[in-house]
Amino acid sequence: MKKQITKKLFYLAIVIPLVLISCQTLTPSSNPGDAPHEEPSASMPQQSGFADKPALPNNSDIEGVQTFPDKSKYHNHVDTVTDPKGDAPPVSGEHFSAWQNCGIYDQPVGLGNALHSMEHGAVWLTYRPSLDASQISDLQAIAHGHEFVLMSPYPSQISDVILTAWNVQLVINSLPDDRIEKFIAYYENGPQNPEPGAPCSGAIGNPIQ
């Protein structure tokens, strides 16, 4: 009888801690709603299903629009994004897991966040920092009220305005230019959008408008 009790106590001493450890492992370590603006990072399995695609034809009837091929690797989430050389924003690329809230900014925004916004269908309107204040104000009036337009200065830019969507770009060297409104009308959440239905809000950044 004494041996049986000893065996039962030994069994409980082994099993109970294992059960507790198992429960702790299954319990979420944090609220999944803590970071609703983030998508899986590069350290997590990529299940996007994106494939390499050729450049879209320019069916916008907007003179000067250039389109570029889409690469599956451009949809990866990474922890570091290197600013590219040159005087124009990249048209796509690996990016941060958090996107930039669309809206109007008077300071440069993070490239890795802006790229993610474009992947969600945003048009990124960038302008040279030395642009006249009145011209900046005119651009803000154009961008204002659009849910999928991100506007900000781009530090190395020398052209007055560059409009960039995912793998689509239009360079504008002097203002005014009615192609700005046409580009936004066609490419804001347009045919180039690889993730229809994805948001451009609820993430990071506090636009001034």
DSSP secondary structure, 134-155, as one string = HHHHHHHHHHTT-TTEEEEE-T
Between CA 37 and CA 35 the distance in angstroms is: 5
- Residue 102 contacts residue 124 (beta carbons within 8 Å): no
For the chain, the residue count is: 209
| pLDDT tier for residue 82 given thresholds of 50, 70 and 90 | confident
Listed residue (193, 190, 160, 166) closest to 67, CA to CA: 166
Percent of the chain at pLDDT exceeding 70: 77
The arithmetic mean of pLDDT across residues 67-81, rounded, is 89
- Mean pLDDT over residues 29-39, rounded? 36
Where do the DSSP E strands lie in 51-160?
Answer: 66-67, 103-104, 123-127, 149-153
pLDDT band at 112 (very low <50, low <70, confident <90, very high): very high
Positive/negative CA dihedral, 155, 205, 75, 196: negative
Which CATH topology does 66-187 take? Glutaredoxin (3.40.30)
For residue 13, CA distances in Å to 25, 133, 152 come to 19, 74, 63
Question: H or E element: which one contains 18?
Answer: helix 2-26
Mean pLDDT of 179-190: 98
Domain ranges of the chain: 66-187
Task: For residue 15, count CB atoms less than 10 angstroms from its CB and return exposed for 0-12, middle for 13-18, buried for 19 or more.
Answer: exposed
The pLDDT score that the predictor gives to residue 145 is 96
At 111 the pLDDT is: 95
- Over the chain, what is the mean pLDDT? 82
